[in-house]
Structure 1
Amino acid sequence: MAVEVVVSDGAAAAEVVAPVKEVSGKAAEAVSPAAVVSKNGSFREESNFLGDLKGSEKKALAELRAKVEEAIVEGKLFDDGKVSMKKVVEENAEEGAVTEKKEEDQGEEEPKREEAEEGEKAVATEEKLPEAAAAEEKPEEEAAAAVVVDKDIALWGVPLLPSKGDDATDVVLLKFLRARDFKAGAAFDMLRKTLHWRREWKGFSDGDVGEELPAELANAFYLDGTDREGHPVCYNEIGVFADDAVYKKALGTEEGKARFLRWRVRAMESDVAKLDFKPGGVASLLQVTDIKNSPGLAKKDLRVAMYQVLDLFQDNYPELVARNILINVPFWYYAFSTLFYPFLTERTKSKFVVARPSKVTDTLLKYIPIESIPVKYGGLKRDGDNEFSAEDSEVTELIVKANSTESIEIEATEGDTTLTWDLTVLGWEVNYKEEFVPSDEGSYSIIVMKGKKMVSAEEAVRNSFRASEPGKVVLTVENLSNRKKKVLFRHKARSACAKKC
């Protein structure tokens, strides 16, 4: 079996995309994975290897390690700046001693004080002495009990005590350092606040809050595949809140808002559990937020809830999102963004990528392989696909120049062969048709799909044809616009012999 691309004007396509291969003219040529889709150079996750850090960064990491080590060993990691109970007892004791000294001095100055009063005070003091001693000892005991040394304390499954020697500890600490521009003191405060929040956050209790939310929200936030760097991709579809019934049930009451926030945090925890915090591992997510059909500014409670989520994630999940891609962004978003952008750090802002509806597939393709992008976003990935998988399907790219036509030929070298293919055109707006042309000149061609104008909103084409005789399926793309078009396709053939075997 072979694939042949026929260029009507005889010109060869020149652009390259990886990990797909490019075909041009009569030849199908493999392209090195090094030639990739143009993408942001800063997208690759920053190195977590100690040897790759700058001198100042190593110094900051060493300082933060020392602070965390000391805080855990001395049981002060959760110290929020309040005076310890032991210190209060000591200060009270000192104050008592000073008072006693003053009374003693005052007693010398007033020797004429009545002896009866002194006798009564002495008796009362003797009677209360055991109780007073017990009262002084009890706070000290409580203070000792309050200092809990938990050397096994962990965050996201990673031990925080540096002396344990786990490489993942430095990876987690580096996330807090980067979130605070490598200022060890600020990073330590952020870590401590995160641990306080996790200890007090009610959403981490055993109660199952997920079932209390509308079933439609199950598809609002979900993981699906990985990007080019191996980051898990989390999709967020805000359009589900356009349904008034769903919106009211999820966010119509104060209880519902709190429940939604707990559920969203739990979803984040589930996503983070899939990360690898070892040096060189994939330690962050790629977030894709689809604003299509979103109710927008009209739903105040949704706006507030999304801000709360963003605020919680920025404060308690630092550097766990490699990129935050917003797609199908309408004009009203720019007004909305002015409300929450001032509350974001510059580092968080730099991770946002915005794509208008006409640029969704092009934008996602910079970060995610076409075979891993869902069909509804212009990719080739289908739920429960039994025909193609990322491992056994090779995607080919073809450039259709302005005002030209190109044909892709998929050969069936023998009879009783089933040919299956996927094809998408970025931006579509082309004429497209499919036909089978037998090798025997005496046989008639068969129309597989009649020619039609494909609009920009079209999903990828998935079709198949059983060839009863040798021949080829011809896929024709006619570009009548004044802009070039990019075609991405893959195919497979299975003969009757292969089926029997």
Structure 2
Amino acid sequence: MEATSPLSSSTATSRRLQENQSAQPTSAAKKTFVASLMEAASLRTPSFKEDTYLICHLNNSEKKALLDLKDRFMAAHGPDSMWGMPLVGNGDERADVILLKFLRARDFRVQDALNMLLKCLAWRKEFTAESILEEDLGFKELEGVVAYMHGCDRQGHPVCYNAYGVFKDREMYERIFGDDEKLKRFLRWRVQVLERGIKLLQFKPGGVNSIIQVTDLKDMPKRELRVASNHILSLFQDNYPEMVARKIFINVPWYFSLMYSMFSPFLTQRTKSKFVISKEGNAAETLYKFIRPEEVPVQYGGMSRPSEALNCPPKPASEFTVKGGEKVNIQIEGIEGGATITWDIVVAGWELEYSVEFVPNAEGSYTIAVEKPRRVPASEEAIHNSYSTREAGKLVLSVDNSTSRRRKVAAYRYIVRKSSSSTTAV
């Protein structure tokens, strides 16, 4: 049996009615401070374009710079390795990827790139960065909360999430950052998290050679974390060049301009060009542009829960939009009697009505209200539910956005377990 789940015809009708309505003139809305900042940021820096690290994509001067860096490195330092890979001497294309990262970070100025590389190697030895993954630094309470690797983006980049809102609690702040020794240990743990992400990279021309960073600014105590933030930025920029493909800031508060001016002196123009800024309430819509819904954590409007098996790829979700004034019915047909259907559904920012019905195929059978209509608050995470059928029919998931003018992004997925224990997944 093949299960299908088209949007119902009532949805198409609703869309046609909406599109046929005459456009009413509206007064120009005053831009919010954050919107103005976001626009200014987009004008200030060009969009980032990730390097492929393919030698054939380099121009002649860049190829010459790579060869020159190898020669100068051997003369000044001799053979060495980074992340377990020899840097020169064996023709390993992974070494070229690493060296090109340092060159790109210094705009292919060979001597500057060499100085950066030598300082980085010295720091890694002093910091014992190569063995840091084996250490237990005692931050179990921060794992999966403050900084953690979780899933991949649409291009396969590992994603690192950062959220420092827990430090608004003074007791927590003092326990982690109370003195210089505690700060040093936290920085070491933060490097450990980054090294986990780098372990997932391919270091291969044309491959996945950088990560995505998502930083949640909600409730972040900006003044208290200034020292730690500056240390982290300086440490990462000096020793992990071109390791981040994109920096996505979500739940950006009005005072972001103050933070930006504080961090800006520590950032290169190339780093600034990687920024994506999303104001409060738009986290899911922003993240969906780069990360599939099934890979986004539930607290940010996705479907991924920590309890899900980490070694299995998540079941893919189907994405759709709900226009303002529209009701969408998702029909999952071809369900046999005695089957169990399990589904997940999420709408970014919810604030609409949601319900589920099971419609039997047999004439004279009554429609069953699986989930009665209810208004879902914006704070709701992805809904996860299941229903076991007694007879054949279809399940209808309804999301009603009739009372709103705002378009919303959404996603769903399901699994049908038949009585024979076989499954159909979408």
Q: Please report the TM-score for the alignment, with normalisation by the length of structure 1.
A: 0.72
- For residues 201-240 of structure 1, the aligned pairs below 5 Å read 201=127, 210-213=136-139, 215-216=141-142, 219-240=145-166
Answer yes or no: is the 8 Å Cα contact 1:296–1:333 preserved in 2: no
Deviation of 1:270 (Å): 2.8
- For residues 380-391 of structure 1, the aligned pairs below 5 Å read 380-385=303-308, 390=313
1:401 aligns with 2:323: yes
Question: Which residue of structure 2 aligns with residue 415 of structure 1?
Answer: 337
- For residues 370-381 of structure 1, the aligned pairs below 5 Å read 370-381=293-304
1:489 aligns with 2:412: yes
Find the residue that maps to 1:219 and give its secondary structure: coil
Q: Which one is further off, 480-489 or 409-418?
A: 480-489
Larger helix fraction of residues: 1
State how far apart, in whole Å, the 1-side matches of 2:398 and 2:132 are: 57
Deviation of 1:450 (Å): 1.3
Q: Write out per-residue CA displacement over residues 61-120 of structure 1, whole angstroms, 9 at most, x where no aligned residue.
A: 1221221122234xxxxxxxxxxxxxxxxxxxxxxxxxxxxxxxxxxxxxxxxxxxxxxx
- Structure 1 residues without counterparts, runs of 5 or longer: 15-39, 74-151
| Amino acid across the alignment from 2:354 | Y
1:261 aligns with 2:187: yes
Find the residue that maps to 2:225 and give its secondary structure: helix
| Amino acid across the alignment from 1:52 | H
Q: Please, which of 440, 454, 457 is the counterpart of residue 376 of structure 2? A: 454
Question: Which residue of structure 1 aligns with residue 120 of structure 2?
Answer: 194
Question: Which residue of structure 2 aligns with residue 180 of structure 1?
Answer: 106
1:247 aligns with 2:169: no
RMSD, aligned α-carbons:
2.7
Answer yes or no: is the 8 Å Cα contact 1:45–1:322 preserved in 2: yes
Deviation of 1:250 (Å): 0.9
| Amino acid across the alignment from 2:324 | A
Q: Please, which of 156, 160, 171 is the counterpart of residue 83 of structure 2? A: 156
**Greater Cα radius of gyration, structure 1 or 2:** 1
State how far apart, in whole Å, the 1-side matches of 2:351 and 2:91 are: 58
- Change in Cα spacing, 1:440 to 1:498, as seen in structure 2 (3 Å) is same
Q: Write out per-residue CA displacement over residues 317-369 of structure 1, whole angstroms, 9 at most, x where no aligned residue.
A: 10011111111121222212211212211111111221112211111111111
Answer yes or no: is the 8 Å Cα contact 2:65–2:109 preserved in 1: yes
State how far apart, in whole Å, the 2-side matches of 1:182 and 1:363 are: 33
Question: Which residue of structure 2 aligns with residue 70 of structure 1?
Answer: 75
Q: Write out per-residue CA displacement over residues 440-463 of structure 1, whole angstroms, 9 at most, x where no aligned residue.
A: 232222211111112222211111
State how far apart, in whole Å, the 2-side matches of 1:446 and 1:318 are: 58
Answer yes or no: is the 8 Å Cα contact 2:360–2:367 preserved in 1: yes
Answer yes or no: is the 8 Å Cα contact 1:8–1:404 preserved in 2: no
- Change in Cα spacing, 1:499 to 1:222, as seen in structure 2 (3 Å) is same
- Change in Cα spacing, 1:50 to 1:361, as seen in structure 2 (3 Å) is same
Find the residue that maps to 2:353 and give its secondary structure: strand
Q: Would you say how many aligned residue pairs link Structure 1 and Structure 2?
A: 391
Answer yes or no: is the 8 Å Cα contact 1:371–1:390 preserved in 2: no
1:294 aligns with 2:207: no
Answer yes or no: is the 8 Å Cα contact 2:335–2:416 preserved in 1: no
Q: Write out per-residue CA displacement over residues 148-183 of structure 1, whole angstroms, 9 at most, x where no aligned residue.
A: xxxx4101222122x321111111110011000111
Answer yes or no: is the 8 Å Cα contact 2:157–2:211 preserved in 1: yes
State how far apart, in whole Å, the 2-side matches of 1:227 and 1:13 are: 30
Q: Write out per-residue CA displacement over residues 372-396 of structure 1, whole angstroms, 9 at most, x where no aligned residue.
A: 111111111122337x9646x4422
Answer yes or no: is the 8 Å Cα contact 2:48–2:273 preserved in 1: no
Answer yes or no: is the 8 Å Cα contact 1:417–1:495 preserved in 2: yes
Find the residue that maps to 2:260 and give its secondary structure: helix
Deviation of 1:219 (Å): 3.1
- For residues 98-117 of structure 1, the aligned pairs below 5 Å read none
State how far apart, in whole Å, the 1-side matches of 2:199 and 2:132 are: 17
- For residues 461-472 of structure 1, the aligned pairs below 5 Å read 461-472=383-394
Q: Please, which of 364, 373, 376 is the counterpart of residue 442 of structure 1? A: 364
Answer yes or no: is the 8 Å Cα contact 1:177–1:183 preserved in 2: yes
Answer yes or no: is the 8 Å Cα contact 2:153–2:290 preserved in 1: yes
Question: Which residue of structure 2 aligns with residue 98 of structure 1?
Answer: none
| Amino acid across the alignment from 1:471 | G
Question: Which residue of structure 2 aligns with residue 2 of structure 1?
Answer: 4
State how far apart, in whole Å, the 1-side matches of 2:380 and 2:292 are: 19
Question: Which residue of structure 1 aligns with residue 286 of structure 2?
Answer: 363
- Change in Cα spacing, 1:383 to 1:258, as seen in structure 2 (3 Å) is closer
Answer yes or no: is the 8 Å Cα contact 1:434–1:474 preserved in 2: yes
State how far apart, in whole Å, the 1-side matches of 2:131 and 2:298 are: 37
- For residues 259-338 of structure 1, the aligned pairs below 5 Å read 259-297=185-223, 301-338=224-261
- Change in Cα spacing, 1:212 to 1:399, as seen in structure 2 (3 Å) is closer
Find the residue that maps to 1:181 and give its secondary structure: coil
Question: Which residue of structure 2 aligns with residue 350 of structure 1?
Answer: 273
Identical-residue share of aligned pairs (%): 43
- Change in Cα spacing, 1:397 to 1:225, as seen in structure 2 (3 Å) is closer
- Change in Cα spacing, 1:206 to 1:482, as seen in structure 2 (3 Å) is closer
Deviation of 1:414 (Å): 2.1
- Structure 2 residues without counterparts, runs of 5 or longer: 17-41
State how far apart, in whole Å, the 1-side matches of 2:318 and 2:233 are: 38
| Amino acid across the alignment from 1:437 | V
- Change in Cα spacing, 1:289 to 1:254, as seen in structure 2 (3 Å) is same
Answer yes or no: is the 8 Å Cα contact 1:422–1:489 preserved in 2: yes
Question: Which residue of structure 1 aligns with residue 91 of structure 2?
Answer: 165
